[in-house]
Chain A
């Protein structure tokens, strides 16, 4: 638990203690005089950075209940602020707390409003605190701090009056059905006729009558008075209170019982009458009713945000550390797994090496041997000589003695429409192709006969079983309508034969 600097301020005195998480250190008291204020400033130097929880214990206080329309969020805040400023114009120290929601049809909200009506009460202390730059968590009414006792002391009575003695006087807090109703502080002045205990008893009896007068209690109802006797000085008080009063019952909680049931140390209790409530302020979560204006608590807000950011940083770091830890654990496991598999692999490889000792000596792995031999056989089957093409061309030329072959360009490879297509090379069959550069001896001007011979030759070639395709790639005359045709009819009179050049393309069937 975090450390807290817990303070209890009254008009003439300030009690201060350091809550260290589980215990309250010795409580120091400071008067409003200048030397004590300097001592308080020195005391604060030892509590650097510790948030301050200030408790107000003064007669200049006001508590009232207000019923307001049910609202949420900003509407509620604005409404309460308006109400508080309207009620407490002379002080900045006020606050409100939603206590319950009414059961009526409108189901209005019931608020407890509280204020310290004399703002000068805190001036010297707040000035010193401000100079020390300690973050102020808030200013809380002492009676609300004492409500923590109800649960710890198991006080279940309907009408309960908590009586405690403080530096500022006797504090009486009336609680009905475990809810705060009224509280009053009475400065203790030993009157000439009686002891302080007697005047305290008198005050309690007066309070009882005051409650009846306010109709908070009925005269026949039993009021249970719980006396928090921190220093053992109120031992006689219960008897004095109930003397002659049937509607009063008084129970004293002695110091040792406070120590046993609350946990506050006897040394702390004996050091200050405010020690019990300082202990409660440190031990419990601060009351929701905070009377400090935002300007005072801005330092604490910064501290909270700062703590939140550090907590977030810690959470991020922790999460990342856990995640990284899991990852590293995972890596470790995977590396172990890989090592185990590697060991098995080595065992299998060793087993395989043992087996290979019975293999015949080989210049290459088995798969390479097989692939090489198979590929070599396929290569042997792929090679072609041009003899087939020669036979086909020779057979074709036998019927045409007037034709003469000048040049033969033979090629074996990817050819024809398969090679030109976009199909993969493996699908394109290898085939023999040849370009025959030929000439035909023809009578002058007898182009029709020459062309008929050429076409007949090509047709005969194409009819051969081995030929896939035969065509004329170049004619002696370009008879295309798109080309220019030139010549002279004068040559018709010449009787000498003329030579006509032409080219033929032959493609054998794939596989030949």
Chain B
């Protein structure tokens, strides 16, 4: 049986302090080295992943070559058509003028909104691709509803980019018998989305 006085117990402060310091230092050292092991394991996993990717690329190089041979020309065609790469807003405006002229409209008012992500990306099944849209609101008047189709066909024929028509509102104008015959009978407001796919950046080309 241990029989110690309070003085003796107070004398144990130093060994207890040493014990606490050693336990604290040990815990810190263990946590640090455990974290190092975990980090090293993650490093090995990352390297293994990179190696696997590199081997896959080597194994699929023939296939990759075939894909490039097949798709490079259509891709460059898309670049030339303004579908891939930067937006060509000037070309779009020019195309609007040309389409207006070809469809014999009375002039088209336009309002082009800032670029934003394409709204129907999931329908295109290309979530990984950076597809953008710039919504253009059009306001014009026309004589007959078929002029609307002529206008959009003429705009598409300019080949300055890819667009889809989101919505159109055709409103009959009041008949005024006092005005000449070839005056507009319909007021049209349409919303068109100009769609572009961002081109490849240098980092992607390296990979």
Binding site for B on A (CB under 8 A): 77, 294-295, 297-299, 301-302, 304-306, 309-310, 312-313, 316-317, 319-321, 323-324, 327-328, 330-331, 334-335, 337-338, 341-342, 344-345, 348-349, 351-352, 355-356, 358-376, 378-380, 382-387, 390, 405-414, 424-426, 430
The interface bits of chain B over 1-40 (1 if a CB of A lies within 8 angstroms of the residue's CB, else 0) are 1111100110110111011001101110110011011001
Q: What total of chain B residues lie within 8 Å of the partner, measured CB to CB? A: 87
B10 to nearest A CB, angstroms? 10
Distance A32 CA – B31 CA, assembled complex (angstroms): 61
The 4 closest A-B CB pairs, nearest first, are A320-B26, A364-B200, A294-B3, A327-B33
Q: Which of chain A's residues has its CB closest to B207's CB?
A: A365
Known: A309-B19, A372-B71. 5 other contacts (CB 8 A): A327-B30, A334-B40, A370-B70, A383-B162, A413-B167
Distance A319 CA – B43 CA, assembled complex (angstroms): 27
- Does A412 contact B164, Cβ atoms closer than 8 Å? yes
Distance A375 CA – B162 CA, assembled complex (angstroms): 12
Distance A174 CA – B64 CA, assembled complex (angstroms): 101
Partner of B75, one of A310, A364, A387: A364
Interface residue? B149 (CB, 8 A): yes
Question: Which of A337, A351, A356, A369 has most chain B Cβ within 10 Å?
Answer: A369
Distance A363 CA – B205 CA, assembled complex (angstroms): 7
Interface residue? B122 (CB, 8 A): yes
B43 to nearest A CB, angstroms? 5
The interface bits of chain B over 29-59 (1 if a CB of A lies within 8 angstroms of the residue's CB, else 0) are 1100110110011011011101100110110
Which residues of chain B are within 8 angstroms of A413 by Cβ–Cβ distance? Answer: 119-120, 166-167
B169 to nearest A CB, angstroms? 5
- Does A366 contact B71, Cβ atoms closer than 8 Å? yes
- Does B145 contact A330, Cβ atoms closer than 8 Å? no
- Does B29 contact A338, Cβ atoms closer than 8 Å? no
Binding site for A on B (CB under 8 A): 1-5, 8-9, 11-12, 14-16, 18-19, 22-23, 25-27, 29-30, 33-34, 36-37, 40-41, 43-44, 46-48, 50-51, 54-55, 57-58, 61, 64-65, 67-72, 74-76, 78-79, 83-84, 119-120, 122-126, 128-129, 131, 145, 148-149, 152-153, 162-172, 195, 197, 199-200, 204-205, 207
Partner of A368, one of B37, B119, B204: B204
A312 with B129: in contact, given A366-B64, A373-B78, A409-B167 (CB under 8 Å)?
A: no
- Does B22 contact A334, Cβ atoms closer than 8 Å? no
The number of residue pairs between A and B whose CB atoms lie closer than 8 Å in the complex comes to: 254
Which residues of chain B are within 8 angstroms of A384 by Cβ–Cβ distance? Answer: 164-165
- Does A369 contact B75, Cβ atoms closer than 8 Å? yes
- Does B129 contact A375, Cβ atoms closer than 8 Å? yes
Can you identify 24 A-B contacts, CB atoms within 8 angstroms?
A302-B4, A302-B11, A305-B15, A316-B22, A317-B26, A321-B29, A328-B33, A342-B50, A344-B51, A345-B50, A355-B65, A360-B68, A360-B72, A363-B72, A364-B75, A367-B67, A371-B129, A373-B74, A379-B131, A379-B195, A380-B162, A383-B162, A383-B165, A407-B171
- Does A406 contact B58, Cβ atoms closer than 8 Å? no
Distance A481 CA – B86 CA, assembled complex (angstroms): 58
- Does B30 contact A412, Cβ atoms closer than 8 Å? no
Distance A283 CA – B69 CA, assembled complex (angstroms): 91
Partner of B18, one of A309, A319, A376: A309
A378 with B79: in contact, given A327-B36, A351-B58, A409-B169 (CB under 8 Å)?
A: no
Partner of B15, one of A313, A345, A365: A313
- Does B47 contact A338, Cβ atoms closer than 8 Å? yes
B131 to nearest A CB, angstroms? 7
Which residues of chain A are within 8 angstroms of B15 by Cβ–Cβ distance? Answer: 305-306, 309-310, 313
A341 with B47: in contact, given A365-B200, A366-B68, A382-B164 (CB under 8 Å)?
A: yes
